[in-house]
């Protein structure tokens, strides 16, 4: 089964505009189309970002609570590995690459240009490209 790390920006976008590509990715995960890989660091960052006033006023708190509970229940939770310096323009994203490697993810899904521009293994792809990959899986 395809394993993916979703960057926090994908989750945030999915909570704000559920009809967009990030929302569709979350729906696919809920339907079992791929295995979601997370760490407690990623979940903590998601909690922090979603509680920022500029974001919190744009999201449905009940939807966020359910999504977080589903992540904690259904995602593959990987212990936070040490992060090496791999994202040249944004060291704050190094943990996502370390998480993807530790969780044997096939892909990192993100809208972050720093990750998308970096030559990473596993590869970082934008949400629409990930959706196309999901469509190609029989």
* CATH number of the domain that residue 74 is part of: 3.40.50.1010
Q: Which domain holds residue 123?
A: 3-136
Q: What are phi and psi of 96, to 5 degrees?
A: -65, -40
Which pTM was predicted? 0.93
- Closest by CA to 99, choosing from 38, 35, 8, is 38
Better-predicted residue by pLDDT, 15 or 86: 15
What's the total number of domains in the chain? 1
Better-predicted residue by pLDDT, 94 or 129: 129
User: Which 8-state DSSP code applies to residue 106?
Assistant: S
Say whether pLDDT at 116 is over 80: yes
- Closest by CA to 102, choosing from 2, 7, 3, is 3
Q: For a pLDDT cut of 70, what percent of the chain falls above it?
A: 94
pLDDT at 121: 87
Say whether pLDDT at 90 is over 70: no
**Range with lowest mean pLDDT among 67-71, 78-82, 106-110:** 78-82
The pLDDT tens digits for 26-55 are 999 999 999 999 999 999 999 999 999 999
134 pLDDT tier (thresholds 50, 70, 90): very high
- Closest by CA to 96, choosing from 1, 15, 19, 8, is 8
Q: With the CA atoms of 30, 111, 93 and 63 taken in that order, what torsion angle do they form, in degrees rounded to the nearest 10?
A: -40
Say whether pLDDT at 85 is over 80: no
């Amino acid at each position: 089964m395809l394993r993916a790390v979703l960057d926090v920006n994908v989750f945030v976008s999915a909570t704000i505009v559920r009809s967009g590509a990030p929302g569709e990715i979350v729906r696919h995960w809920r339907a079992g189309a791929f295995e979601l890989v997370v760490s407690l660091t990623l979940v903590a960052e998601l909690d922090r970002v979603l509680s920022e006033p500029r974001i919190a006023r744009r999201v449905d708190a009940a939807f966020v609570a359910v999504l977080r509970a589903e992540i904690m229940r259904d995602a593959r939770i990987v212990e936070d590995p040490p992060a090496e310096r791999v994202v040249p323009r944004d060291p704050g994203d190094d943990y996502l690459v370390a998480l993807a490697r530790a969780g044997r993810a096939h892909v990192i899904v993100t809208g972050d240009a720093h990750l998308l521009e970096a030559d990473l293994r596993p590869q970082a792809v934008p949400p629409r490209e990930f959706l196309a990959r999901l469509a190609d899986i029989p």
